[in-house]
Each structure stands twice: as C-alpha cells, then as structure tokens.
Structure 1
Amino acid sequence: MNLLFLGTSAGVPTKSRNVSGVALRESKGKGWYLIDCGEGTQHQVLHTKLSLNSLKAILITHVHGDHCYGFPGLLASAAMNGRTAPLTIVAPAGIKAWLDATYEATQLSLSFTLEFVASDDLPSVEFENIAVATYRLSHRSPSYAYEFTERKVDAALDVDKLAQKGIPRGPLWGQLKQGIDIEFAGERLKSRGFLIFKYKPVLGAV
C-alpha cells in the first residue's frame, strides 16, 4: 500500500496546500481509501489517477470542518459519475447526523448505498485486502486514528528455513505462500514464519 497526500494544511487551505485529505492505495489493483475529506478534496482527486468508482471507504477522523466539509460534494460527484457500488463510511456519529441533514436540505440523492460504521464504537472493519482498526485520540471533539493492515502483501518463501524444517516442495509450500498455516511432523507451523515480506504490512493513518 502507499499514501498520496491530497491535503496537509490545517484549519484553512493555503495557495499550495489543501486541507486534510489522504488517499491510501492498495498495492495491487485500483482500490483505495480516503482518510478525511476537507473542502476541495474532490478537486485534488481530479489531479490524480484515482477514480471515485474504485473508492472502497471514506474514514473521517473527527467532525471539524477542515476534515469533512468536502464530504457531501464528493459523494454527489461519485453519483453523477455513475457509481453504483456500496460505499463504507467510518466516522463519528456526528458525521452521519450532519450528512442526513444535508441530504434533506439539498435534496441530495445518491445512486449507491452508504454503509455507515460509527468510529465511536472503536470498530475493526474488514475489507477484501485491508483490515482497519480504530483508536481513540485526545482532541477537542471525539477523534479517532485508523490503522490499516494489508492482508495480501507480496512475499517470497524463505526456502532456507523450509529446508531446515525438512518441509518438502509441493502443496505445503503453496499453502504457506498463500498465508495458510499448516500441520507438519506433528507441529503447527505459522505461514508468516516462512515468508519474506518486501514491505511492512501495517501502516497507521490519522
């Protein structure tokens, strides 16, 4: 996975820096996650190769405007771009109340469903390739950090270690390569112990 900073300014934008928005991209494919969506975030996305149709989830750290004022506009643009796949939203409960009020006041209608997960409950959320854990932060309003763990990270088999254990080439090697723990010679062997990772699988984003 890798990070693309869409905005790093706090409170208000500057001429060279937009307010908070971070895109986290999966290592393979076009899937990505948006952490915070300050005003103008969708315009920042237009300067990248990211597609709103490939967006897997939006995670809001807290309710202050520089972290969420771009949220309704981005959703509306996703609908106008033809998105139909459900979208997961992980955010404090106040975000849902504000979004519901925006729906009603502006007659916003989306072509896809939102699956809202309250970060106040400190949930763990599972996606196809990413697991997300939630942590409470100290701030003026309820605020949360999100930790991303990529579950299908490219890895090579540690051939020397396999040879030391006497594990023969074949199906057992294939299972370990796929991240499946195995039983061998009466011992339970963890796949992670026989894999060499090119990148660290865990990345925290706030």
Structure 2
Amino acid sequence: MLRVIFLGTGGALPTRNRNPSAILINREGELIFFDCGEGTQRQMMRARTGMMSLTSVFITHFHADHILGLPGLIQTMSFQGRTKPLVIYGPAKVKEFACILSNIGYYNLKFEIRAVEVHPGDIIKRDGYSVKILKTEHSVPSVGYALVEDSRPGKFNRDRAIELGVPVGPLFSKLQNGIPVEVEGKVISPDEVIGPSRSGRTIVYSGDTRPSDDVRRISKGADLLIHEATLADEKLDWAIESMHTTAGEAAKLAAEAEVKKLILTHISSRYTEDPSVIYNDAKKHFKNVTVAEDLMEIEVPYSK
C-alpha cells in the first residue's frame, strides 16, 4: 500500500471547501505527514485515517498554514494514550518549534516530541524507503521532500528454474531469497532465475516554492509529483513576488521531469468556487494532471 490522502489543499486562507496544507501518506500502515495546517485532526477523523500509527511529520516551512494543526493533533494523541515518540523534521527553527509544542498550554504530554533539523541534500533512511530533502525557493527558510522506496527484487522466472532442473518446492524459496541451491551436483545461482531489480515508487512534494531546479531534478521519472499551484498563470507577477508557483509553471516542471502524474495543491482562496482555471493552465503543458480536493485519496501503483 502507498496511499496519499489530501487533508488540506488550500492556500494561506482556509475556505469552506479547502483546509490549509496537510498531506498524509499511508505506506504499509505507517502514517507520515507532510505539513499539518489548521484543522488537520478533524480532517483525519473525516477521512477515518486514525492517528496512533503516525510516526513522523515533515514540515516544509514555518508559515502558519503549514503548522497550526500540530498543537491540537499532539494533544489529542496524548489524551488517547500515545506513548511512542513523534519525530518532527523541518528546516531551521524546528527545534524551537518542537519545544513550544511540548510546553504550550497546561496539558502534560505522555510522549516525547523529537525534532530533527534538515537541510537540502540530507537523506533520512527508513525501513524500506528514504526521504530526501530538496532545496526550494520560498520567502522563508523552506525545503521539499521526496519519499523514495528501496528497489524491489527482480521477478522469479519459474519456467527457467524448472528448465534448469530445480524441482517445485522449497528450493524455489531459497532462490527467491538470494540463496544458491544445488540440484544433482549442479549449483544454480539466484541470478540465473531472477530478473533485474525493480525500482520502488517515488512521491515528491514541493511545499511552497518558486519552480525549483532541485525539485525538477529529484522528480525525474517520479510516480507522483505533488506541487503547489497557488495562482493561475495570469497572476505570474504576484507568484514571483510572493515566491509561489503558477499552475502552468508547475505543469512545465512536471513535463520536463517526465513524471507519471502531477497533482496540484495549495490553491489560492480566490479559486474556491471554480478551480478550472488552474486545471486549464496546467493542462496546456502536462496531460496527466489533477487539481487536488480535500479528502481526495489516491493509490500510487508500481510501474509496470
């Protein structure tokens, strides 16, 4: 399972249709947050995602619309008896922010909040995947993130194994686990019956940024690029001034990176009633594009 749940897809101002930024990834039952805007825990309840399997929160930057959901979420998890530490990753000031979270109000947390400051080029290795830290260009210190799964073993060629004299049964499992086997005095090595390794899946999240060379580079061939598209192309001057990206710019970056799918988020409140202009601007440059909506869920499949 690699499921992406868009809990908040709006810009700086929440609207009746869009909460501020919050993206939840469920990977094999492990919940991972990328940003956590105001009202996120209620969105989690609406999406029926649960909370206690949350292991990590990756913050792109410390503007309020990307972090204000954390105090309430942390307090709720404490009320529900969480004892496992929660790790919060982010750019400069993440340690000060974590200290505030631990001490705000009069409640006593029952679990530890651990803060890890990250910088572009860092790689956080986890079980079965890594998170790469990307350089972005916003009005405050900011980063983007790429979740990159480890490579998978190649496919087992059953017919080839039988052709080489390997009987169906336990020896198949040994070969699949990389262990050579002996059949009638002949040693069969795994590489004789297992194809080349296959890539895992890659999800890239830009956070708030102008079009970034690092995001473009790391997104090369990615299964999914989640990119901000705060404004329509007609507002390019404003996008440049506020250090955001237009829908057309995000789509051009996706096309250059040859990603498989692009989802646009962080949509300005001016497009609350009709985000079609965002979609139309992007569609001119990249075909497989979707404008995210709150509570939208997608499954990221393996490449064929």
TM-score under structure 1 normalisation?
A: 0.78
- Equivalent residue number for residue 56 of structure 1: 55
After TM superposition, the structure 1 stretch with the greater mean CA deviation from structure 2, 8-17 or 155-164, is 155-164
**How far has the Cα of 1:139 moved from its partner?**
1.1
Is 2:37–2:66's contact at 8 Å kept on the other side of the alignment?
yes
- Equivalent residue number for residue 41 of structure 2: 42
* C-alpha distance in structure 1 between counterparts of 2:193 and 2:75, whole Å: 44
Amino acid at match of 2:205: A
How is 1:142-157 mapped onto 2 (pairs within 5 angstroms)?
142-151=141-150, 157=156
Is 1:38–1:70's contact at 8 Å kept on the other side of the alignment?
yes
Is 1:32–1:56's contact at 8 Å kept on the other side of the alignment?
yes
Q: Which runs of 5+ in 1 are unaligned?
A: none
What percent identity do the matched residue pairs reach? 27
**How far has the Cα of 1:8 moved from its partner?**
0.5
After TM superposition, the structure 1 stretch with the greater mean CA deviation from structure 2, 124-133 or 2-11, is 124-133
- Equivalent residue number for residue 13 of structure 1: 14
Is 2:151–2:197's contact at 8 Å kept on the other side of the alignment?
no
Is 2:151–2:198's contact at 8 Å kept on the other side of the alignment?
no
Which has more radius of gyration?
2
Task: Please state if 1:3 is matched with 2:1.
Answer: no
Q: For the structure 1 residues 74 and 105, does the alpha-carbon distance in structure 2 shift closer, same or farther, using more than 3 Å as the test?
A: closer
Aligned length, in residue pairs: 199
* C-alpha distance in structure 2 between counterparts of 1:77 and 1:129, whole Å: 29
Q: Helix, strand or coil: the match of 1:98?
A: helix
Is 2:156–2:195's contact at 8 Å kept on the other side of the alignment?
no
How is 1:187-198 mapped onto 2 (pairs within 5 angstroms)?
189=191, 193-194=195-196
- Equivalent residue number for residue 66 of structure 1: 65
**How far has the Cα of 1:91 moved from its partner?**
1.0
Q: Helix, strand or coil: the match of 2:43?
A: helix
Q: Helix, strand or coil: the match of 1:46?
A: helix
Q: Give the superposed CA RMSD.
A: 3.4
How is 1:130-145 mapped onto 2 (pairs within 5 angstroms)?
130-145=129-144
Q: Which runs of 5+ in 2 are unaligned?
A: 182-186, 207-304
- Equivalent residue number for residue 26 of structure 2: 25
**How far has the Cα of 1:144 moved from its partner?**
1.3
- Equivalent residue number for residue 205 of structure 2: 205
* C-alpha distance in structure 2 between counterparts of 1:32 and 1:146, whole Å: 15
Amino acid at match of 1:17: R
- Equivalent residue number for residue 119 of structure 1: 118
Q: Which whole-Å deviations, capped at 9, do the CAs of 1:62-81 have from their partners, x for residues lacking one?
A: 11111111112211111111
* C-alpha distance in structure 2 between counterparts of 1:202 and 1:191, whole Å: 27
Q: For the structure 1 residues 152 and 43, does the alpha-carbon distance in structure 2 shift closer, same or farther, using more than 3 Å as the test?
A: farther
Q: Which whole-Å deviations, capped at 9, do the CAs of 1:57-98 have from their partners, x for residues lacking one?
A: 111111111111111221111111111112221112323213
* C-alpha distance in structure 1 between counterparts of 2:109 and 2:192, whole Å: 45
Q: Helix, strand or coil: the match of 1:45?
A: helix
Is 2:180–2:188's contact at 8 Å kept on the other side of the alignment?
yes
Q: Helix, strand or coil: the match of 2:18?
A: coil
Q: Greater strand share, 1 or 2?
A: 1
**How far has the Cα of 1:117 moved from its partner?**
1.6
Amino acid at match of 2:6: F
* C-alpha distance in structure 2 between counterparts of 1:190 and 1:36, whole Å: 46
Is 1:145–1:205's contact at 8 Å kept on the other side of the alignment?
yes
* C-alpha distance in structure 1 between counterparts of 2:125 and 2:131, whole Å: 6
Q: For the structure 1 residues 183 and 70, does the alpha-carbon distance in structure 2 shift closer, same or farther, using more than 3 Å as the test?
A: same
* C-alpha distance in structure 2 between counterparts of 1:172 and 1:118, whole Å: 47
Is 2:174–2:180's contact at 8 Å kept on the other side of the alignment?
no
